[in-house]
A and B are shown apart, each in its own frame.
Chain A
Amino acid sequence: MGGEPELILVVDDEPQLLRFLGPALTSHGYRVLTAATAAEGELLALSHRPDAMLLDLGLPDRDGLEVVAALRAWADFPIIVVSARGKEDDKVAALEAGANDYLTKPFGTRELIARIRVALRNRPGTAPAPTRYAFGRIALDLETRAVTRGGEAVHLTPNEFRLLLVLARNAGKVLTHNQLLKEVWGPGSAQQHHYLRVYMNQLRHKLEEDPARPRHLQTELGVGYRLVEDPA
């Protein structure tokens, strides 16, 4: 991390948003580059190789999903898409096309910075995959396949374990229903959303203090789930 501050490329056609994003990011120690169209954004991405990208899905010149797919063909920096509420399907599509996270307008600075941090930390190749995960009172040891809550062993079924592991490896990142289903149950298991929900529910009952008010295993409404390590 040290040395040069990270470069964030913001692609959004709304001046109001750029006006607020620039100072917000700079004040948190990032360098900012802005573009108002997808074409300009792609060009800047190629020439400057940013560390992360904030992409509005509703750009005037090109469909946001296409931009994500095009970038993913060569770029591995994190992409956070920005979209309006009620467009959950778009978000899911963007995530499955390779976006790392999403933000729903309107959002506050705190949320924005948190997402960027998670995205930067999860950049591939930054660290070897750990064999132990811990969040809150919950710990997961990959080698012994043991899960503990507050030091006590928790019995998980194989599917529950795999689900937890996938979430833990992507901690902080939202995973869509389809991504989780594919990871845990293998390809061809899509459309079985209710199974995922039921397992998720069981996992919460076993790991969360109040399963109806989960601290770590959070629902991203209409999109998927996210494991939050240190909830605010």
Chain B
Amino acid sequence: MDKPHERPDPEALLRRVEEEEARTARARLKVFFGAAPGVGKTYAMLQDARLRKAEGVDVVVGVVETHRRSDTQALLEGLEILPRRLGAHRGVQLEEFDLEGALARRPGLILVDELAHSNTPWSRHAKRWQDVLELLDAGIDVHTTVNVQHLESLREVVAQITGVLVQERVPDTVLERADEIELVDITAEELQARLSEGKVYVPDQARHAVQRFFRRGNLLALRELALRRTADLVDKDMRRYRESEGIRDTWAAGQRLMVGITPGPGGEALVREARRIADALGAPWMAVYVDSGNPLKEEARESLEAHLRLVERLGGEGIALPGHGTVAEDLAALAHSRNVTQVLIGRSRRPAWMERLRGGLLGELSRHLGTIHLHVIPVEPGPGRARPLKPSPPWWPGGATLGLCAGYVAGATLLGLAVHRYMELADIVMLFTVPILVAAIRHGRSAALGASALSVLAFDFFFIPPRFTFAVRDARHMGTFAIMLGMGFVIGDLTERLRQQAIRAQQRELRTLALYRLGEALVRAGDTADTVASAVRAVETQFQAQVAVYVPGPGGALEPIEGTRLPEGDPALSIAQWAYDHGQAAGRGTEVLPASRALFLPLKGARGTLGVMALARPETGPLWQEPDQRHLLESFANQTALALERAAYLAEAGATRARAEREELRSTLLSSISHDLRTPLAGITGSATTLLEDPGTLTEQDRRSLLGAIQDEAWRLHRLVTNLLDLTRLESGRVALKREWIPAEELVGGALGRLQRQTEGRDVRIALDRPGILVQGDPVLLEQALIHLVENALRHGGSGGPVEVKVHQTGRAVALVVADRGPGIPEAHQEGIFEKLYRVPGQGAGQGPGSGAGLGLAICQAIVGAHGGRIQVGNRPQGGAQFVVSLPYAEEPPAPPAEEEADGR
């Protein structure tokens, strides 16, 4: 103790303050805890609830199992009972606690019986305790009941006492979350009496098992466990109080526990034991596996992963430590660096000679640990041994393989028969190694064994005197047989391992390749839709599943991305939303809504969850449970999330760039336009002042010319302002197109009609392929575009040459052509000519009153673009520029009106 007693460790203080705050803010959980069924937990809970109700608390019974006991049922009277949710599973009608209903009802306090209950498959959570946690998260107080045998950490102990391995378990952390624990305790005798009086609910089919469970010895042990566990939990409260008061516990302070684990069946029990001791000490704990670098077998690796997962579930820290020195050195080094005070290791009940070999570890470890306490815990393979997920390869080959092996052996036998005259028996034996090897390489371990057995038989029958019998005269040959079999076994095993390694390597390679391909596809994808499409394609091929991706829409709620879909009939969107909100996987094969047909994985990026990927396959049962597959799936999801994030960043960057460009354009436009605006204004002002201040010296001709100038300049100003407004409107994308069918004559005629002033004295020729060609588009906008083109041709098309306006129909498009006989447009400028304010050198704008200030062609392009058309410019062979606007038909043109010419006169 290096700190004064009255001053608590600041970290502990902070933690306590945080907990305190969380405690006052969050909903309260009260657990009615018992040693066995029948002690009266539900009864106690209901009594308590009635008291609360009398105090004015809004109490609702979420779910209570009365088992038709009249005294319990009587307590229910006067309490509001939430209706249960009904659902069918495999044709059976089932009732379940209605979590959604409870959340919607939002009572002040809800009673939820049987915390360890496993929910029906269509429920949101697999376990009821998860329901309870969600209720608490929602700020609703919960009262619940649980028996000691359901506690995760006590499972092994209870199994040892009662011989019954409980399937329904509750993590200890849930109980620790409880703000209040009430132990409902009666003596073993009393409980037995109640059982015999029929006051304990016992399902008929389990009567026998129950009677075994309720043996006096069992009950005593369970009661002790329950009392102790309660005492532990109460002790924690006490300790918390003492800490807060500045009283430091001389024992518990700074305790840290570490347990060394190995793969294999004993590990689980060891982990639970460690957790129990750590709990009793009030110490944080960690489980360490020292990875010596030797590759683990598949089964061992899975078991190790299961252990580490269990550690996390029990609230410990799981560490896989890469080894540097011996196991003892590595463990000790970590223990010292992490200030561990207690080290646990397991001692398995193995033969003494094996233990002696391991004894080295114990001795070495205790030397290295120095003052740190070392505990050795005896462990034996617990009943909860993890079932291997993949069946190991069979030891004996199947019929087809055996036939092939027989073929190989027959070949060797024939060869042996052909040469046995010239060879010793020992040489012929060597011949039989060939089929064994071939079988091993081609078909694996079981085939090698089969081939060696067949070889022994064939060798015996055909070559060992007396030949053509299975009898053996010389006992020495038995040794040969044994060696042949042994050889088959060893070769088979070796090749099998090699094969497995090769298969794994291949799988790894395929996985890497798949990931690489996905990465490549995602890098090439530009925006969110592209990214999702690539990811969906990749996942669909890799996992042979239907894939849907959900991303938040503009309103923040998830929406499926178009083109990705799941089979119908699943409340997919709401599950996806849950997965998105909680950042956890949901659906099939998870603990949340496992009855769903699809698996929902959140796509998590650096900025939080970006969306949800859902995968569905037609068959039932969990999906992608093998660690390899799951790992790959998660990698895919991660990659997709990263790519989505990148796409989001890109979009953001693009928007910023566009904004900057717009700003720049605006300022260029303003500076350029201001000149065009000032020139006509100067003309108007000048002419007007001259007229006003005229002392009477102006001739009538001068006056008219000045007035004409005012009119012209005003028109020019008008055109300029109109163009500016049009362009701004078009570029903002706020122009609503009216798509109508317009005869080309009307379009051309309208445009030329508006240009009457400019076309006066000019040669404008109109050429239509045929009368009545229909153009599809907005009449006002298209006429405007045509006006700009003709105006441009009039201005730049040389003074005398004709301006031609032609209309062609080509398939499902119409081409409007405006051509002149001017100098044409230098090729270098043909691209830029449609840009705003673009001026071809030597053909300066601002000539004449109709000048568009370099906006006319830009307006044209914007209009044509809005119609989904194209505008091109080129020079004609005979000289002059030619603009071609091609406008596609969005649909078939309407048939010309058919009219009876009855009275047509």
Contact = CB atoms under 8 A, between A and B. Distances in A.
Contact of B779 (A161, A195, A199, A222): A222
B722 A85 contact: yes
Contacts of A214: 749, 753
Interface stretch (B594-602, B655-663, B768-776, B816-824): B768-776
Contacts of A210: 766
Contacts of B771: 201, 205, 211
B749 A155 contact: no
Interface string B401-438: 00000000000000000000000000000000000000
A194 B774 contact: yes
B740 interface: yes
B897 A213 contact: no
A221 B753 CA distance: 11
A218 interface: yes
B895 to A, nearest CB: 10
A197 B904 contact: no
Interface in B759-793: 766, 768, 771-772, 774, 779-780, 783
B418 to A, nearest CB: 95
B748 interface: yes
B904 A194 contact: no
B581 interface: no
Interface in A139-181: 145-146, 155-161
Contacts of B344: none
B896 A198 contact: yes
A34 interface: no
Nearest to A219: B750
Interface residue tally on A, bucketed by range: 20 to 34
Contact of A197 (B729, B741, B753, B768): B741
Contacts of B740: 193-194, 197
Most A CB atoms within 10 A — which of B742, B754, B897? B897
Nearest to A108: B711
Interface residues of B, number: 36
A219 B746 contact: yes
Contacts of A161: 904
B591 interface: no
Interface string A207-230: 000111110001101100000000
A200 B714 CA distance: 35
A58 B714 CA distance: 22
A202 interface: yes
Given A145-B905, A158-B904, A212-B752, A201 B783 contact: no
Interface string B861-905: 000000000000000000000000000000000101101111111
A112 to B, nearest CB: 15
Nearest to B766: A212
Contacts of B299: none
Contacts of A155: 904-905
B848 interface: no
A212 B768 contact: yes
B239 to A, nearest CB: 78
B770 to A, nearest CB: 11
Nearest to B772: A201
Contacts of B804: none
Contact of A157 (B725, B726, B901): B901
B524 interface: no
A198 B897 contact: yes
Contacts of B746: 197, 200-201, 219
B745 interface: yes
B582 interface: no
A194 B749 contact: no
B630 to A, nearest CB: 59
Contacts, number: 89
Nearest to B780: A222
Nearest to B903: A158
Contacts of A202: 772
B894 A194 contact: yes
Contacts of A15: none
Contacts of B783: 221
Contact of A146 (B714, B748, B905): B905
Nearest to B735: A86
Contacts of B745: 201, 204-205, 211-212
Interface in B686-729: 714, 718, 722, 725-726, 729
A146 B902 CA distance: 15
B779 A213 contact: no
B381 interface: no
A88 interface: yes
Contacts of A213: 749, 752-753, 766
A188 interface: no
A16 to B, nearest CB: 12
A157 B904 contact: yes
B899 A86 contact: no
Contacts of B750: 219, 221
A125 interface: no
A156 B749 contact: no
A156 B894 contact: no
A106 interface: yes
Nearest to A155: B904
A88 B780 contact: yes
Given A106-B718, A213-B766, A201 B743 contact: yes
A163 to B, nearest CB: 12
Which of A161, A200, A205, A213: most chain B Cβ within 10 A?
A213
Contact of A158 (B729, B894, B899): B899
Contacts of B768: 212
Nearest to A193: B740
Given A88-B780, A156-B904, A195 B743 contact: no
Contacts of A201: 743, 745-746, 771-772
Given A106-B718, A219-B749, A222-B779, A197 B743 contact: yes
Contacts of B897: 159, 195, 198-199
A157 B772 contact: no
Contacts of A106: 714, 718
Contacts of B748: 212
Contacts of A205: 745, 771-772
* Residue from A145, A194, A202, A212 having most chain B Cβ neighbours under 10 A: A212
Contact of B741 (A159, A194, A204, A221): A194
Given A213-B753, A219-B746, A222-B780, A158 B722 contact: no
A200 B780 CA distance: 17
Contacts of B905: 145-146, 155-156
B369 to A, nearest CB: 88
Contacts of B749: 204, 211-214, 219
Contacts of B779: 221-222
Nearest to B750: A219
Contacts of B725: 86
Interface centre among A197, A204, A210 (most CB of B within 10 A): A197
Nearest to A204: B745
A157 B897 CA distance: 11
A184 to B, nearest CB: 12
Nearest to A214: B749
Most buried by A among B726, B748, B905: B905
Given A193-B740, A194-B741, A219 B753 contact: yes
Interface of B: 714, 718, 722, 725-726, 729, 740-743, 745-746, 748-750, 752-754, 766, 768, 771-772, 774, 779-780, 783, 894, 896-897, 899-905
7 contacts: A106-B714, A194-B742, A197-B741, A200-B743, A212-B752, A213-B752, A221-B783
Given A159-B897, A219-B750, 13 more contacts: A85-B722, A106-B714, A145-B903, A145-B905, A157-B901, A157-B904, A194-B742, A195-B894, A198-B772, A201-B772, A205-B772, A211-B749, A211-B771
> 3 closest A-B pairs (Cβ-Cβ)?
A194-B741, A201-B743, A222-B780
Interface of A: 85-86, 88, 106, 145-146, 155-161, 193-195, 197-202, 204-205, 210-214, 218-219, 221-222
